Structure 1
Amino acid sequence: MPSVSSVRIPGLATGMDTDTMIKEMLKGEQSKVDKAKQKEQTTKWQQEIYREIIKDTKGFEEKYFSLSSKNSLLSSSAWSTLTVTSSNPNVITATGNAGANSMNYDFNVIKMAQEPKLSSNKTLTNESTLKELGLNLDETFAISFGKDGKGLSKEINIRTEPVYEKDDSGNDKLDDNGNKIIKEPADTIGTLINKINDSTSGEVKASYSEITGKFTIECKETGEKSKIEIKKGTPSVDVDGNTTVVYDQPSNALDFVFGVNNNSSIGENSQIEIKDKDGSVLKTINEEKNIFTIDGININVKGLGETKLTSKQEVQPVVDNMKAFVEDYNKIMDKVYDLLTEKKKVDYPPLTEAQKEDMSEEEIERWEKKAKEGILRNDSEMRKFMDDMQKSIFGDKMSILNDMGLTSHDDYNKKGQIALDEKKFIKALENNSDKVYQIFAKDDSSVLERMKSTIKDYTGGSSSIFARKAGLEKTASAVNNFYSEQLKRQEEGIKKLQRKMSERESQLYKQFANLESSMNKLNSQMSYFSQM
């Protein structure tokens, strides 16, 4: 047992083993410290186990409930039993949604959907100043963009001459070489591009090509309803004499770049022919975008030309993903159920430091594995989590889910787990995959959306149930939670007990030191009398 006393006086006069005697006298205090540390260790383990469940649950959520995951079950395409193949992926690629119609048609892309675009009619450089290109005066114009005449207008100010810094007298400031100090430079094609891009938040893109020497402004939206236009403002004065500017008239502000009266552009729709096996045109479609859906199949137009789209029914990928989902879910529920039901090993409390000194690492590991058992037995939050997950799955859909092959597990030892009857599930998919998708994932009342909502209640953020109990990483709850607060109090209690033990230890050493001193005096006197 370590001591805070810096002085150790062995029992030279008394013949007593002082250290051993004091250690024995402090056994009661040491026992209190050990028990407090054991309780603290149990709390740490409880928090660690909770955080393992949180990690497992969030990993499960990200795998099956995130639309960006390849295993996501929330998208319609995840429930599609239709595999679509394109003979020329450079023209069109396609994927089926749940309930999609069979596909066996030729597609001829005559024209792709285009965005509205203005392009310079002369060769420029990025450093070309607007004055060099023909702009003589500073101007203000607006770029209007959007669909159906409901475009937004963003004001752009362009400058032909630089603005110089002035002193207090209004004179131009000069640098050490006698040159005027520029406050704002004159605009170039490069600075004009930056102004347009900064003001339109990505909805309009201005760019310059070193290869072609062209300056272009194009709208993000494609289709004939999308329009981009350069407008001039109409000033108006209200009754209070305040002037406002409404940009509502076509402007020739950039004639020196785009050419006279070339101040607006309208996008174009695609033109795609759909033909039967005999080559007859069944339908010509015009779409505003190059990505659209027809007969439940997602079409992504990549280029001009012809391709053949064919489909076949294939349920196995959907079944395999569902089987993996059930297996991963059951692993979590199995772990939680074990935590709730395993009995506590009363003969295996957390080890003290003294006990660990006499054990190997393997022995300590085996002991602590048993010591952790049962420390969350009948935990109320864990039990409610299991119950709420079960309710979110079946709720009022027990009968229809059973018909589709999903049931609660009939093994009593697998409480909270679910079972999948593959034959029933395959039959449901083959008969009506869209209905399966509707029940499992289509809207907020579906099985998976309810599961996602329940998981969010327990692990979704700082205020979630498990976060308040054990804390979520990278949130305020990481330190502000039930277990962390317990650990703070336990740590303070341990320090208090250790201080008391140290004070008691110091007191005992002082008493033994006094005894030694007294015995030394007595021995000296006895020696004196003996010599007499």
Structure 2
Amino acid sequence: MGTRISGLASGMDVDTLVKDLMKAERMPVDKLFQKKKLIEFQRDDYREMNKHLKELDTFIFEGISRQSSFLKKTSTSSNEAVITGVANGQGGTQKVTFDSVSLATSRSWIGSEVTIPDTRESSKLSTLVHTLPEKVMLTLNKPSGEHTSLALLIDPEKESIASFMQKISQSELGVSAFYDESTKKVAMMSKETGQGFSLHTTDEKTEALFKKLGFSMTASELIGSVESKDGKDAAFSVNGLAMTRSSNVFSIGGLTVTLKNNTTTPVTVTTSNDTNSVFDTIVNFVERYNQTIDKVNKKIAEPRFRDFAPLTDEQRKGLSEKEAQQWDEKAKSGMLQRDSLLANGLATLRTNLYKTVQHSERDFQQLTSIGIQTTSNYLEKGKLVIDRDKLRQAIEKSPEAVMKLFTNNSTVDGEKGIAQVMRQTIATTIQQVEAKAGNVLRTNQQFVLGKQLNDMDSRMKAFTERLKEVESRYYKQFTAMEKAVQRSNQQSVYLSQQFSNGR
């Protein structure tokens, strides 16, 4: 670019003149900028609607599309201080009576009194055994045939009886251990209940240590004193059938049972359908569906303010922050007004909700049969309303039929559950919207509005380059004018001087 002479000769504000001239020249670029912003607004609104649809799809998937949501059970015990039961959903409604309950107990190993020398170091293991093992080797054999082994590192000079017992308890051996200073005895107990646990040492030094801790041994098996007891399996009868279990917590007939106390008095655990949970699952679905279609309906009914084009940077400078915010709200409004993709998606969803699901029970093959229908108020545009009493009665009468209405899995259209059909419709709508507006993982070249944005960028770039040339031309023209004015001024001064000299 050549040298610019900005009004020195003519006295004109050339920079301002060029700036004003460029405003007119820049108008087509501003129009392109505004069109680009409108496309971006539309893209963002599409993606926001897709976000709501995906959230609805996830809600359906985690709720009414799962059979487990309809198979929940509740259980009550006639004496919860003795027995409690939690239904796991695998069994039907039932009454189970437990009688003659005897709890499972753990295997215990109790040593005889430990003879400790009367020294200041009396708590140290080294006072009991002159040559301590660096590793204590123990194995716990279980009734199941499994076993766990322990190789416990100890410091012979520092390890106390109490700290040694604590390390055993904290290990993965499966045994709790402690030293009682009042009785001077070591006590150990299997963490699991049941009959048939045994504890073994696997080297001579470990055996010698436990003998000093008051335990007798039989062929490397830890026996203990006469206070030691073998564990017992839980014993009880269920509806008259005698049973045993190694644990006080077990499953039977779709019920997870916890035995808490011995008893000779019968205790009944009753399992029934969890009507409240199923009811809440369906009500929550209806509420989420209504929230979603309300957001989409409001978006496609939003008014369009065509007189409020997106603000350019120059226009924004002339407004206050509040004025710019209000302008932006109107400029962004109505980007999806009467949008066919979303309107068709909602219409198909409404059709899905009217459909008949052909399954085993004819009385529960439509939503209306369980008390759910669309509102009669046309202004609410297809929202669902619930007859709560009718819904609860349907769940209590036939929970399996209500479940099939929503979850029936089939490749035949007329037999597909409402959840399956709705998820297919939502997936199709989301795919169509993404083809037009993309998502965060797609490049502009992979969706319709993105290609339009790329085209706008290319046109704006080309026009911007042209504007630079126009601006340069204006400055050249003004510079030429300034030079001409300067020459004219110089000639005028020369002539004036000549006339003055000729007097």
Secondary structure (helix, strand or coil) at the match of 1:14 reads coil
1:405 partner letter: G
Unaligned 5+ segments in structure 1 are: 67-71, 127-207, 213-269
Structure 2 partner of 1:332 = 292
Per-residue deviation, 1:357 = 0.9
Distance in 1, matches of 2:34 and 2:81, equals 65
Distance in 2, matches of 1:354 and 1:109, equals 86
Structure 1 partner of 2:376 = 410
TM-aligned CA distance change 1:302 to 1:311, over 3 Å = closer
- Is residue 299 from structure 1 mapped to residue 255 from structure 2 by the alignment? yes
TM-aligned CA distance change 1:510 to 1:89, over 3 Å = farther
Secondary structure (helix, strand or coil) at the match of 1:26 reads helix
Instruction: Report if aligned partners of 2:436, 2:449 keep a CA contact under 8 Å in 1.
Output: yes
- Is residue 359 from structure 1 mapped to residue 319 from structure 2 by the alignment? yes
Per-residue deviation, 1:383 = 1.9
TM-aligned CA distance change 1:50 to 1:455, over 3 Å = same
- Is residue 52 from structure 1 mapped to residue 45 from structure 2 by the alignment? no
Secondary structure (helix, strand or coil) at the match of 2:449 reads helix
TM-aligned CA distance change 1:476 to 1:39, over 3 Å = closer
Structure 1 partner of 2:98 = 106
Structure 2 partner of 1:456 = 427
Instruction: Report if aligned partners of 2:102, 2:234 keep a CA contact under 8 Å in 1.
Output: yes
Structure 1 partner of 2:437 = 470
Instruction: Report if aligned partners of 1:394, 1:447 keep a CA contact under 8 Å in 2.
Output: no
Identify which of 81, 87, 100 aligns with 1:95: 87
Per-residue deviation, 1:495 = 1.5
Structure 2 partner of 1:499 = 465
1:32 partner letter: P
TM-aligned CA distance change 1:519 to 1:308, over 3 Å = farther
Per-residue deviation, 1:315 = 3.3
Distance in 2, matches of 1:93 and 1:492, equals 70
Secondary structure (helix, strand or coil) at the match of 1:106 reads strand
Identify which of 430, 452, 469 aligns with 1:486: 452
1:94 partner letter: V
TM-aligned CA distance change 1:210 to 1:324, over 3 Å = closer
Structure 2 partner of 1:74 = 65
Secondary structure (helix, strand or coil) at the match of 1:396 reads coil
Secondary structure (helix, strand or coil) at the match of 1:19 reads helix
- Is residue 388 from structure 1 mapped to residue 348 from structure 2 by the alignment? yes
TM-aligned CA distance change 1:57 to 1:33, over 3 Å = same
Equivalent residue runs for 1:224-303 within 5 Å: 275=238, 280-281=239-240, 294=253, 298-300=254-256
Partner deviation per Cα, 1:141-166 (whole Å, 9 max, x = no partner): xxxxxxxxxxxxxxxxxxxxxxxxxx
TM-aligned CA distance change 1:12 to 1:385, over 3 Å = same
Per-residue deviation, 1:58 = 2.1
TM-aligned CA distance change 1:58 to 1:470, over 3 Å = same
Instruction: Report if aligned partners of 2:76, 2:84 keep a CA contact under 8 Å in 1.
Output: no
TM-aligned CA distance change 1:91 to 1:211, over 3 Å = same
Distance in 2, matches of 1:13 and 1:369, equals 49
Distance in 2, matches of 1:479 and 1:303, equals 65
Greater shift, 333-342 or 317-326, is seen at 317-326
Identify which of 6, 9, 19 aligns with 1:10: 6
Distance in 1, matches of 2:377 and 2:103, equals 60
Secondary structure (helix, strand or coil) at the match of 1:83 reads strand
Distance in 2, matches of 1:38 and 1:90, equals 75
Per-residue deviation, 1:14 = 2.0
- Is residue 446 from structure 1 mapped to residue 401 from structure 2 by the alignment? no
TM-aligned CA distance change 1:425 to 1:362, over 3 Å = same
TM normalised by structure 1 equals: 0.60
TM-aligned CA distance change 1:406 to 1:502, over 3 Å = same
Distance in 1, matches of 2:143 and 2:33, equals 69
Per-residue deviation, 1:285 = 10
Structure 2 partner of 1:131 = none
Per-residue deviation, 1:100 = 3.7
Distance in 2, matches of 1:317 and 1:381, equals 35
Secondary structure (helix, strand or coil) at the match of 1:350 reads coil
Instruction: Report if aligned partners of 2:8, 2:482 keep a CA contact under 8 Å in 1.
Output: yes
- Is residue 523 from structure 1 mapped to residue 494 from structure 2 by the alignment? no
Per-residue deviation, 1:321 = 3.3
Secondary structure (helix, strand or coil) at the match of 2:45 reads helix
Instruction: Report if aligned partners of 1:80, 1:99 keep a CA contact under 8 Å in 2.
Output: no
Identity rate, percent:
25
Distance in 2, matches of 1:305 and 1:443, equals 45
Partner deviation per Cα, 1:138-191 (whole Å, 9 max, x = no partner): xxxxxxxxxxxxxxxxxxxxxxxxxxxxxxxxxxxxxxxxxxxxxxxxxxxxxx
TM-aligned CA distance change 1:435 to 1:89, over 3 Å = farther
Greater shift, 496-505 or 385-394, is seen at 385-394
TM-aligned CA distance change 1:302 to 1:99, over 3 Å = closer
Per-residue deviation, 1:32 = 0.8
- Is residue 436 from structure 1 mapped to residue 392 from structure 2 by the alignment? no
TM-aligned CA distance change 1:453 to 1:531, over 3 Å = same
Secondary structure (helix, strand or coil) at the match of 1:407 reads strand
Unaligned 5+ segments in structure 2 are: 105-141, 154-170, 176-232, 358-363, 411-415, 499-503
Per-residue deviation, 1:478 = 8.1
1:299 partner letter: L
- Is residue 42 from structure 1 mapped to residue 38 from structure 2 by the alignment? yes
Per-residue deviation, 1:19 = 2.5
Instruction: Report if aligned partners of 1:106, 1:308 keep a CA contact under 8 Å in 2.
Output: yes
2:396 partner letter: E
Distance in 2, matches of 1:300 and 1:438, equals 26
Structure 1 partner of 2:25 = 29
Per-residue deviation, 1:91 = 7.6
TM-aligned CA distance change 1:293 to 1:477, over 3 Å = farther
Per-residue deviation, 1:46 = 1.1
TM-aligned CA distance change 1:447 to 1:272, over 3 Å = farther
Structure with higher Rg: it is: 2
Distance in 1, matches of 2:19 and 2:174, equals 87
Instruction: Report if aligned partners of 1:36, 1:494 keep a CA contact under 8 Å in 2.
Output: yes
1:447 partner letter: I
Distance in 1, matches of 2:442 and 2:102, equals 54
Distance in 2, matches of 1:99 and 1:478, equals 53
Per-residue deviation, 1:396 = 3.0
Partner deviation per Cα, 1:213-240 (whole Å, 9 max, x = no partner): xxxxxxxxxxxxxxxxxxxxxxxxxxxx
Distance in 2, matches of 1:472 and 1:465, equals 12
More helix by share: 2
Identify which of 339, 345, 364 aligns with 1:379: 339
TM-aligned CA distance change 1:521 to 1:365, over 3 Å = same
Instruction: Report if aligned partners of 1:36, 1:490 keep a CA contact under 8 Å in 2.
Output: yes
Per-residue deviation, 1:423 = 2.3
Structure 2 partner of 1:176 = none
2:437 partner letter: A
